[in-house]
Amino acid sequence: MNSSELEAIGLTKNQSAVYLSLLKLGSAGALGIIKESGLQSSRVYDSLEKLENFGLVSYVIRDFKKYFQAAPPEKLVDFLKEKIAMINKIIPDLKKIEGMKKEELHASVYKGKEGIKTIHSMMLKEGKDVYLIGAKGMIFSELPYFTPHFEKERLKRRIKFHLIYDNKKVKEYEQKTVKRQFFEGKSLPKGFGSKSVVNIFGSKVAIVSWNEEYPTALMIDDKNVADSFKKWFDFMHLKCK
């Protein structure tokens, strides 16, 4: 296992390396951790201190020497819960700051896979059916940990997906391999595929460009624009099979 999954939940690369090393070693002194992780001693000691504060590492003293031990992996759930609690606590203050001086925004740019997650979270919050032009199914391959949670919440909120796929292969993949539920879709004619996807939901339109697996999205929040794209979707949906 590499450290990327631990980094995704908030640990640094060094902290992840130290935690994984301790899981392998069971109990070890600082020198053993340095050897196992391949990190410089200063980085190991700094990471150990931070991990102790997070409750992910503890130690005992034997023969005047510290021996460190990783907390059980289940403790990572508590680590995340504490972060969520901290965020919920400061949201009211952040909302006050947000309202002090805010120009009306109609368009925003989101970059990377985290940006795509943000857009899909907006879909859940909006709670309305979603219409896609150029669907590629890439969310299933590129966001394998995020997608199951998203789909579960989508089904719970009865948000239906109406899809115009890039081609028939993508449609068959979602139907037979992914076994997506509560959706309907048609496919574009051969030769009309692209690297972009248009997502229409509520008053929002998100135009996503997948460039070498690194997505960039333009989000437009305007009812008139969304209504226009929805009309174009309806026209294309009639023509597609």
Residue 153's domain is classified under what CATH number?
Answer: 3.30.870.10
Task: Mark whether 18 and 122 lie in a shared domain.
Answer: no
Count of domains for the chain? 2
Which of 86, 102, 118 is the endpoint of a domain?
Answer: 102
Query: Structure pTM?
Result: 0.64
One domain, residues 98 and 159 = no
Q: Are residues 98 and 111 in the same domain?
A: no
Q: What's the pLDDT tens digit per position in 137-154? A: 888 888 888 999 999 999
Instruction: Give the residue-averaged pLDDT of 152-169.
Output: 93
Specify whether 129 is located in the same domain as 190. Answer: yes
Is residue 96 located within the same domain as residue 116? no
Are 50 and 161 in the same domain? no
- Residue 193: its pLDDT value, please? 87
In Å, how far from its chain's centre is CA 156? 19
Residue where a domain terminates, one of 50, 68, 102: 102
Residues 5 and 81 occupy one common structural domain: yes
Sign of CA dihedral 124, 128, 132, 137: positive
Q: Which pLDDT band holds residue 175 (cuts at 50, 70, 90)?
A: confident
Residue 188 pLDDT: 92
- Do 112 and 66 reside in the same domain of the chain? no
For the chain, give percent helix, strand, coil, nearest 5.
Answer: 50, 25, 25
Query: End of a domain among 63, 83, 102?
Result: 102
Q: Is the pLDDT assigned to residue 179 strictly greater than 90?
A: no
Q: What is the pLDDT of residue 212?
A: 62
| Phi, psi dihedrals of residue 219, rounded to the nearest 5° | -105, 125
List the domain range (segments joined by +) for residue 123. 107-239
Residues 139 and 228 in one domain: yes
pLDDT of residue 232: 96
- pLDDT category, 234, cuts 50, 70, 90? very high
Task: Clarify whether residues 26 and 80 are in a common domain.
Answer: yes
What does the pLDDT read at residue 103?
54
Q: State yes or no: pLDDT of 101 exceeds 70.
A: no
pLDDT number for residue 137: 87
Instruction: Let me know whether 61 and 142 are in one domain.
Output: no
Alpha helices in the chain, H assignment, sequence order: 4-8, 13-25, 30-37, 41-54, 75-100, 112-126, 138-142, 146-156, 168-172, 223-239
Q: Are 37 and 152 members of one domain?
A: no
pLDDT for position 169: 85
Q: Output the domain CATH number for residue 11.
A: 1.10.10.10
